[in-house]
Homo-oligomer: A and B are copies of this chain.
Amino acid sequence: MGVRDLVEGKALEAREGARALLKASTSKKNRALLRMAEALLDSAERLMKENGRDVSAAREKGLSGALIDRLTLTEKRINEMAAGMREVAALPDPVGEITRIWQRPNGMSVGRMRVPIGVIGIIYESRPNVTADATSLCLKAGNAVLLRGGSEAINSNKAIVGILREVASSEGIHEGAVTFIDTPEREAVMEMLKLEGIVDLIIPRGGEGLIRTVTENSRIPVLKHYKGVCHVFVDRDANLVMAEEICFNAKVQRPGTCNAMETMLVDKAVAEEYLPAVLKRLHEAGVKIKGCERTRQIYPEAEEVKEADYDNEYLDLVLNVRVVRDMDEAMEHIARHGSAHTDTIVTDNYHKAMRFLREVDSSAVMVNASTRLNDGGQFGLGAEIGISTDKIHARGPMGLEELTCTKFIVLGSGQLRG
């Protein structure tokens, strides 16, 4: 069987799974998720053995240490996968919720009901834990998942999927609800992206290269997360003590994440007062400072920042610092260089806070809070499948609700069109 037929066959199986899931009750889905968590824990040894085959192969191929780390399943990671599935089981079911209902002059009620999207294709790289995490979120929201993991994790993924499907089937959930494209052929991704009408949504999870390839080749809608070039703007009316804490937290607390600050913008009116202490503290925490001309007048130890640096997602202890004329220049900078991910203003001025909230066009816009807080858990959404930097369907952290859509329902009593 060619790759094309194999992929289409799997997708059609997922489609059947999705149709069957339309009838699954919340308690049935929850019971399956809890039993899946249990089954993963019970099979930890076997999973680690299968994973060991992938890890050895990766070592033989000389793949990087970072990749091998992401690939490796430890007992701790298996526990986390199971805990994640239980957490999702405990979240409220979005499916069937009527988000609004209203009455029309002719007496019919019109409402919106949350419904599953259908078949969600997940394209990911080496982390086998994505297999369980994505399955639990998709399943809870009533969607079938069509998984395509990295070829280097194929044995691990096959083992995980085997366990999940076995539970699904014994709990009366169509096995197609958890479908895995079990070929290492790279072509499989391209074939998957052509299946519009069978697959309803693609979520790529991985590096910029993967995401770009998927976006450029997909005929199916894609929800994606490009990069996080996040800003904190310290306004002239900021509480400078608060500003320092927020900037320090946003840069240093976990610099490798997409919601860490990459550029600090400082109002010229407070630059001289604010910068020396905060830059010294950041420097002492190991942060390399790249500054604009004015920054370097105030803090000569800074390197020179180049225009292109402002577009960089460092994911590291490096920070661009720019002194700006006012909030308008800061917002222009964010519009030009930002990635519409997370941007914060620190200010005590009500009017500027309101304007910043309204005019900055990012997935999360904050007043007086660290960019690091843009996260499904921190926002109270429960588990998330990623942070969307798209502008269609969902922006920001994507939880269960974002894995649904709404349809219209009409409760009539014989209404006709006049």
Contacts and interface: CB of A to CB of B under 8 A. Distances in A.
A145 to B, nearest CB: 15
Given A215-B219, A412-B368, A416-B246, A391 B200 contact: yes
Given A104-B379, A221-B221, A368 B405 contact: no
A245 to B, nearest CB: 6
14 contacts: A19-B361, A96-B358, A102-B380, A104-B378, A110-B380, A239-B414, A246-B416, A249-B416, A368-B412, A368-B415, A369-B412, A379-B408, A392-B393, A395-B407
A323 B390 CA distance: 45
A364 B358 CA distance: 33
Given A367-B412, A373-B417, A410-B364, A391 B117 contact: yes
A390 B335 CA distance: 30
Main secondary structure of the interface of A (DSSP, over half): mixed
A382 to B, nearest CB: 13
A70 B358 CA distance: 40
Contacts of A242: 414
A295 interface: no
Given A357-B409, A393-B405, 4 more contacts: A104-B380, A366-B412, A367-B410, A369-B410
Interface string A367-384: 111101110001110000
List the 7 closest pairs (A to B, CB-CB), nearest first. Answer: A369-B412, A372-B417, A366-B410, A393-B393, A249-B416, A364-B408, A368-B412
Given A369-B108, A392-B221, A358 B412 contact: no
Contacts of A367: 410-412
Interface residues of A, number: 70
Nearest to A115: B361
A379 to B, nearest CB: 5
A417 B113 contact: no
Contacts of A390: 221
A253 interface: yes
A118 interface: yes
A104 to B, nearest CB: 6
Interface string A179-221: 0000000000000000010001100000000000001100101
Contacts of A82: none
B108 A373 contact: yes
Given A22-B361, A196-B215, A395-B405, A373 B415 contact: yes
